[in-house]
Amino acid sequence: MKRIIIIGGGIAGLGAAYKVTRAASVGQKVEFILVEKDLRLGGKILTEIVPDPSGEGKFIVDGGPDCFLTEKPACHRIAKLTGIFDDELPTDDSRRKTWILSRGKLHQMPDGVMMFAPTKFIPFATTGLFSWPGKIRMGMEFFIPPKKVAPGELNEETLESFVVRRMGRECLDRLAEPLVGGIHASDPAKMSLAATFPRLLEMEQKYGSLMKGFIAARRMVEEMRRKYPTKPGEKPRTFFTSFVNGMQHLTDRMADAAGRERMRTGVAVSSLQHTSAGGWRSLLSDGSAIDGDAVIIATESWAAEPIVRPHDQAIADALVNIPCSSSATISIAFNENEVGFDLNAFGVLCPLAEGRALMAATYSSTKWPGRAPEGKVLLRGFVGGPHNQEVMERSDEELVQIVHSEFRDILGLNRNAKPLFTRVFRWRLGMPQYTMGHLSRVELIEERSAMISGLALAGGCYRGVGLPNCVESGERAVSKILTEWGIDLAENHIEEKRYY
């Protein structure tokens, strides 16, 4: 029996563990032991079910991610395999609307905006979000020639440089920064577009204009919807998907399906050593050790660095150069009849230029049906990010006060509305920043770890922070090791397929 030690029980580590179990179930002599430093599995995925303090129902509070991108297959595949596909929850798109704060006032995101590119003329022409000079500058995007890039050459450009070059500064400050930079909680002046949204670069080259590219993409989506309408009884396919009982339902089921008896929690891996038998020994924080034939390090990059350094300096140096920023989500529940503002929206984005502590707010109980009992409301605010790390020094009580007061000033929350309960979730160094040169760093990490037998790295710090990307990276790490052991993935039906 060959054993893989998996370090880290976030979705990437669990994705790896579940794949090893699938390989074992088709007769391969492989097993895993997973070690997670926290008492809880799931990493950044954390759902708390809070009983309604003033009634019968319950609130479903996601402290980290609240959804995944529907178009990416990995989470659906796992949901299907673990029997929770029917628990997937689409957004309530009948109430889909996003507000953007601009010069102190809320403006509705114009209909037809894809990423930061308008694709419908009338909503764009009539929005108060942009000034007329700003709109004219954005309209000129149609005529700006694409950047000359030699075939095979990587266009390393920041989000800021790209958006300003194509659409103008106003589009960056009022739309692209809060929308696109916000997904990564990143600074657009440092963020590598090739590492985060390569599709935008491809679109520029293919269509010569982003707006032309997005108009074509919108027409294709509309055409697909006409051709393949939702069948009666089928759930609508919305842009984002969650689970009826919150995102942790997914990682809980992954842990069950992989085998919790092979997972140790509340203990960290402090270091790795080679064994005389050619395998690996992981030394744990409680003084014990686990021996295995291979290791997958599925932790944050900064946690992987000291473990890897004795084995490969260059990988460790590349890991140090993946900066991570801290953030927090603060959820506050209210009685619906007290809030005093229109709840028919998914949330509010606050551009950096507005100088607010709040980066964004989600109207969780509007976006996701069933997140709050009838007559109650669940709102969640984000603070932190690379431009406001100081806020993370504040106590939980202060963070609640800050977000509550931002809800009053920005959303128009009634001054007398009393919180039913509050929850603060802190994510210290929880968001990797894909800065310029990120792809080269990841290539170096992959190339060098490919040369170290029985070692692989996985997780959201490398090739995508989105949950489906993290699952796939855990699975890829297992594939690397099984292939080294001469196991044919396709022959054993343990390669990844679309299951839905």
Ligand X SMILES: Cc1cc2nc3c(=O)[nH]c(=O)nc-3n(C[C@H](O)[C@H](O)[C@H](O)COP(=O)(O)OP(=O)(O)OC[C@H]3O[C@@H](n4cnc5c(N)ncnc54)[C@H](O)[C@@H]3O)c2cc1C
Say what the alpha-carbon torsion angle 169, 172, 173, 179 is, to the nearest 10 degrees. 170
Site string for ligand X, 23-52 (x = CB under 6 A): ------------xxxx----xxx-------
| Whole-angstrom distance, CA of residue 447 vs CA of residue 439 | 12
CB 32 within 8 A of CB 3: yes
Instruction: State which of positions 263-282 bind ligand X (CB under 6 A).
Output: 268-269
Position 402 contacts ligand X (CB under 6 A) = no
DSSP per-residue codes, 178-215 = IIIIHHTT--TTTBBHHHH-HHHHHHHHHHSSHHHHHH
3-state secondary structure of 341: coil
Instruction: State which of positions 157-176 bind ligand X (CB under 6 A).
Output: none
Could you tell me the smallest distance in angstroms from the CB atom of residue 103 to ligand X? Answer: 27
| Contacting range for ligand X; rule: CB under 6 A; set: 150-158, 215-223, 387-395, 461-469 | 461-469
Ramachandran quadrant class, 464 (left: phi over 0; alpha: psi -120 to 50; beta: rest): left
CB 360 within 8 A of CB 345: no
Could you tell me the smallest distance in angstroms from the CB atom of residue 68 to ligand X? Answer: 5
| Contacting range for ligand X; rule: CB under 6 A; set: 50-58, 273-281, 395-403, 460-468 | 460-468
CB 249 within 8 A of CB 47: yes
| Maximum separation of any 2 CA atoms in the chain, in Å | 71
Burial label for 105, CB within 10 Å (0-12, 13-18, 19+), is exposed
Could you tell me the smallest distance in angstroms from the CB atom of residue 368 to ligand X? Answer: 11
| Contacting range for ligand X; rule: CB under 6 A; set: 20-28, 216-224, 292-300, 438-446 | 292-300
For the chain, the helix, strand and coil percentages under 3-state DSSP, each to the nearest 5? 40, 25, 40
CB 375 within 8 A of CB 335: yes
Instruction: State which of positions 78-137 bind ligand X (CB under 6 A).
Output: none
Closest CB to ligand X among 130 and 462?
Answer: 462
Position 246 contacts ligand X (CB under 6 A) = no
Closest CB to ligand X among 124 and 427?
Answer: 427
Position 470 contacts ligand X (CB under 6 A) = yes
Instruction: State which of positions 59-78 bind ligand X (CB under 6 A).
Output: 64-68
Position 459 contacts ligand X (CB under 6 A) = yes
Bridge-based pairing of strands 117-118 and 2-7 is unpaired
Tell which one of 155, 192, 299, 479 touches ligand X (CB under 6 A): 299
Position 12 contacts ligand X (CB under 6 A) = yes
Position 255 contacts ligand X (CB under 6 A) = no
Could you tell me the smallest distance in angstroms from the CB atom of residue 39 to ligand X? Answer: 10
Closest CB to ligand X among 115 and 164?
Answer: 115
For residues 216-240, one letter each, b for 16 or more C-beta atoms within 10 angstroms of the residue's C-beta and e for the rest, the string is ebeeeeeeeeeeeeeeeeeeeebeb
Closest CB to ligand X among 89 and 269?
Answer: 269
Closest CB to ligand X among 5 and 194?
Answer: 5
Bridge-based pairing of strands 2-7 and 421-432 is unpaired
Closest CB to ligand X among 170 and 187?
Answer: 187
Position 477 contacts ligand X (CB under 6 A) = no
- The runs of H, that is alpha helices, within 90-191 are 121-126, 132-139, 159-167, 169-171, 182-183
Residue 139: CB atoms within 10 A of its CB come to: 16
Position 427 contacts ligand X (CB under 6 A) = yes
Closest CB to ligand X among 181 and 373?
Answer: 181
* Contacts with ligand X, residue ranges (CB under 6 A): 7-13, 35-38, 43-45, 64-68, 268-269, 298-300, 303, 327, 329, 427, 430-431, 459-460, 465-467, 470
